[in-house]
Structure formats: structure tokens, C-alpha cells
Amino acid sequence: MKQVIVDLGARSYPVLIGPGARHALPSVLPTGARKAAVVTQRGVGTEVATGLEQEVFLIGEGEEAKNLGNVEHLCQGFARFGLTRADVVIGVGGGVVTDVAGFAAAVYHRGVAVAHVATTLLAQVDAAIGGKTGVNLPEGKNLVGAFWQPVAVICDTEVLASLPPRERRSGLGEMAKYAFLGVADLRELDLDEAVARCVTCKARFVAADERESIHLGDDVGGAPVDRALLNYGHTLAHALETAGRYDLRHGEAVAIGLVFAARLARRLGRVGDDAVAEHERVVSAYGLPARLPGGSDPEQLVQVMERDKKATGGGLTFVLAGPQRLEVVPNVPEQAVLEVLVELQS
């Protein structure tokens, strides 16, 4: 079993990776906890043993489950169960579960410990790690949330064997993103090593910039550490998901967002044709979409992107490639964005 440490000083925690890793869960739970509230979904099918008195709390399927009503419902259930600040919440599932369970843990009793057992490839390489929790509003994804680091994350690669092909492909979209964050080609590696390299990359960004307080590519020790760079490809991806009219999994939307970001960077004179071709090649190699779905509405997508949480009063804001590296770029002209979206319709 592999272990990666997310280094946050006294709040550091392990990410355990490998087949059967879920069986190590009791060893990483807080000392003194008596009860565990296990948050999961009916379709997850992964049972965990905590060694504590535990009760299972179910939330619904899909992005629709990421709402404030479910957070309230969970907190009411925790109270009835008698969960105290000394106890622990366990999120067992994909990114929806870890986001909702983590946010509920962050606000219940003003914060109780949470651990995650990530059961999808997407959650193992991205969503479960780093302490970002949150739910959606009709106006946009993840607009209500909190930074709340887990005490541990379990990435049991054994459970990925039962993933539906499209759910696995969604995880590949996040893996494709890491190719532009300095992680070498993952496709030739065994699954445990590929997951570990993604986790190691994300852990480096989280350790250096836990709350996205570093902006515009500032350096620490000569390396770019702006955590917002982990959102590469996500601005358009979140808009596609928020619009609610496109049949796209998160990773599929991210793949389209990566190609869009490369083309937008080229239109702004930041990169040339070779960079665009490389993005197209990586996305294609993972078998992911590179064009907008039929019937897409560029103007609606721009309106949604204007509400993206990266925007800080600087107009449309994107993570974009540049001559040296990725950077957060504010004040991107709306016309340029519209023109690239039209390009991606064909």
C-alpha cells in the first residue's frame, strides 16, 4: 500500500492508496472518537468497518444531491444519532459524497473530524483530497462551502474494478489535467502508481496554498504553487454542468474545458499552435471529448462563467497556459471567449 502525506503541519494527514486500503480505516480515525456517521449513496455498494458505533446516512445520486437541503438533513441526522465534536464523519463514495459529507462535517458543531473513503477514480485523484467541500446553487457549482481538511483519505483501488465505464472515463478527465501540471504521462503506469502521482501533485499544491490565497502564479521556492491552477479546464466545465442541459460527466466536461483553455490562450497570444495540438492529443489519448456538445449556447455559458468562484471583480477569469506555465488570468475579453466557444461547436 502506498502512502502520500498532505503536509499541513499539525493538520497533516495520510492518503492511503492500494487494493484493500479501506480495511486500514480504523487505524487513521481520531483517538477518542466513539461514533462514526457514514455518509454514502445507495449505489456505492462499498461497506466500511470503523470499529466504532456507526450509523449510515444516505444522500441522493448525482449533482442534484449537492444542495443545502441535504446538508441540513445530514446535520439533523447527526444530532439524532448523538454525534459529538469528538466523533467522526466518514464520506464513502465519489466526489458528490466527499463534498457534501465534508461540508456537513465542517458546519456541524462548528466542525467535526471527517475521513473519506474515495470509491471513484475522480475522487481518488482529485475530489477527496485537499479539504475543499461544498454544495451547488442554481446559479453555479460549489458556490457555498468551506475549507475543511480530512483526517485521512483512503483510495482503495480494488473498488474501482466495479466502476461503470463512463464513470471511470470521468476520472480520466482529471488525470488528463495533471499532464499540464507537470505530471508525466500516466497511461503506461499501473493504477496504484498513477493515482499516487496525481495525489502527490495535488498534495504539493494544497500544502503550499491551502486556501487559494496565492494568486496570479506567485512563486514559492521557484515553483508555481497557486492552488487555483488545479482548476485548469474547470471554468468551462463547471458552466457546462451548471447549465444542466448537457449529458456530461464532470471529467468529460473538464476535458472539453482543457481544449477550450488552450484555444483561448492561443487567441490571446499566450501560446501557439503546438500547445493547442498537445492539449488535443492528450484529451484524445484518454478517449475524452474535445468539442462542445450539440445544441450548446455560447452566450449562456459565458453568463454562467461570469459567476465562477475564481472571479474576484476582474471580469472573466481563467487558468490559462502561457509561455512558461499556467497562470490565473483575469479580465479576459468576453468577445474572445465567445469566439473560441463558437470554434468548439464544430
In this prediction, residue 36 carries a pLDDT of 98
Write the pLDDT tens digit of every residue in 48-68: 999 999 999 999 998 899 999
Is residue 310 very low, low, confident or very high in pLDDT (cuts 50, 70, 90)? low
The residue type at 325 = R
DSSP 279: H
Whether the model clears a pTM of 0.85, i.e. scores above it, the answer is yes
The pLDDT, as a whole number, for residue 312 is: 60
**Number of residues in the chain:** 346
Task: Tell which wins on pLDDT, 14 or 211.
Answer: 14
pLDDT digits (tens, 9 = 90+) for 82-96: 999 999 999 999 999
Computed over every residue of the chain, the mean pLDDT equals 93
Q: At 216, is the pLDDT very low, low, confident or very high (cuts 50, 70, 90)?
A: very low
Q: Give tens-digit pLDDT for 217-271.
A: 444 344 456 889 999 999 999 999 988 788 899 999 999 999 999 999 999 999 9
Sign of CA pseudo-dihedral 199, 201, 204, 206: negative
What pLDDT, on a 0 to 100 scale, did the predictor assign at position 218?
47
pLDDT at 139: 86
pLDDT by residue (tens digit) across 270-299? 999 999 999 999 999 999 999 999 889 999
- Domains defined for the chain, CATH in brackets: 2-163 (3.40.50.1970), 170-343 (1.20.1090.10)
Q: Residue holding cell 469566439? A: 339
Does 175 score more than 60 pLDDT?
yes
Question: Which segment, 98-107, 211-220, 308-317, is predicted with the most confidence on average?
Answer: 98-107
Residue 315 has a pLDDT of 80
User: How far is it, in rounded angstroms, from Cα 236 to Cα 80?
Assistant: 40
Amino acid at 122: L
What are the E-state strand segments in the chain?
2-6, 13-17, 35-41, 53-59, 88-93, 113-118, 132-137, 140-147, 152-155, 219-220, 223-224, 318-321, 326-329
